[in-house]
Amino acid sequence: MMKSLVWTVVVALTFAAEAAFAAEIVPALPEKNGAITVPTQEWPFEPGPRSVLVGIEYPGTTLASVNEQTGLMLSLHNWGGTGSSGAPHPRTMAYRLNVVCITVDYLQSGKVSVDPNNGPYDFGYLQGIDALRALYTVFAGLDRAGVKFDRRRIYATGGSGGGNVSLMVNKLAPRTFTAIIDLCGMAKLNDDIAFNLPGGSSLDARWSKDPTSKRYLSPDAQEIRDTGHVQHAQIMKRLGNTARIVSVHGAADTVCPFVEKQAAIANLKQAGLQAELVVVDQAKIDGQVFLSTGHSLGNRTEIVFAVTGTALLPTTADHWVRTGTTDFERREAIEYPTSNGRYVIDFAEGLPTARFEPRR
């Protein structure tokens, strides 16, 4: 009996300490639509403290408008963009879907420099951690303020680079999201994009093949950035990932190669995940929502509604919901093995951190 009481006290003190830690570093939510700054993980290419700007749109423009049916949604910008550039419009998402819509100026937002002295393009790894920290800030902030919301309705969407980060947050936090709506995002960091090889995609992520270079792309770093990695998809399934993954991609897209998205979705489906590829071909062009079979697609805000119907609306009987607790609440570590070690995404403090542990 005494041992049980001591253990109960220890657990209570641990959770109190964790809550105090989070309260110290996570800012309070604004009372109305606005922006906050969220501390995040150091980037090795620019050592030192780092933070990201996070935009918040409430369904009725104020914190007071959040109710028990309100969900959370990340709307993530394109490569080199800021705010909601190239992504579904956050005000529209918040109002029509009854969600708190969150934009994130994640790592390298607004930076498209090809200066070889700068770091390579992150390609969804720390960018994903930035987005998850922003999401956690809203999640925990609502709890701290005593505001009830529907934690079963957590979504991520984004266009191009934001589509890539949307797929990556589902990988890094596999028990958190209800649905992912990826709009023409990169499927993986292939050699063409990583090393700017002739032909192929116009994207240049500025990595190096030279093992002595600080920009060296190791096999491990490349593997964690593969959203359709076969073994990692199997791990996601084993952990209990139930997210509805809807990828919308132009059949003629060469910027973010269509064939690679086909392969990634096939791998996710093979692992038993709920993944669907919506192909925008010439037959789908309607002149209003779908305008191009290439990378631009069309009206990326309306595409979200076109491909999900009423599944994101909390007022319909068959709307998508997630069961079980999120990774934020589980406080566990997610591990993805790679060629020479493993990547660990650690939720011990609620706010996630990511690290690579080489094999010894």
Q: Which pLDDT belongs to residue 26?
A: 78
At residue 117, the pLDDT reads: 63
Distance CA 291, CA 277 (A): 18
- Statement: residue 13 has pLDDT above 60: no
> Please, which pLDDT band fits residue 208 given cuts at 50, 70 and 90?
very high
Summarised one tens digit per residue, pLDDT across range 140-175 is 999 999 999 999 999 999 999 999 999 999 999 999
What average pLDDT score do residues 123-145 get? Answer: 97
pLDDT over threshold 70, residue 183: yes
Instruction: Output the CA–CA distances (angstroms, integers) from residue 134 to 155, 165, 237, 333, in the order listed.
Output: 13, 13, 25, 19
The per-residue pLDDT for range 289-307, each reduced to its tens digit, is 999 999 999 999 999 999 9
- The SS3 call for residue 358 is strand
pLDDT at 6: 34
Whole-number percent of the chain with pLDDT over 90: 89
Architecture of domain 28-331: 3-Layer(aba) Sandwich (3.40)
Alpha helices in the chain (DSSP H): 2-25, 90-97, 126-144, 161-172, 191-195, 219-224, 230-239, 258-270, 300-308, 327-330
Q: In whole angstroms, give the CA distance from residue 40 to residue 329.
A: 19
Tokens encoding 152: 């079963």
Confidence of residue 18 (pLDDT cuts 50, 70, 90): very low
Chain length of the chain: 360
Residue 9 has pLDDT above 50, yes or no: no
Rounded mean pLDDT of the chain? 92
The residue type found at 296 is S
Determine how many CB atoms are found less than 10 A away from the CB of residue 346: 15
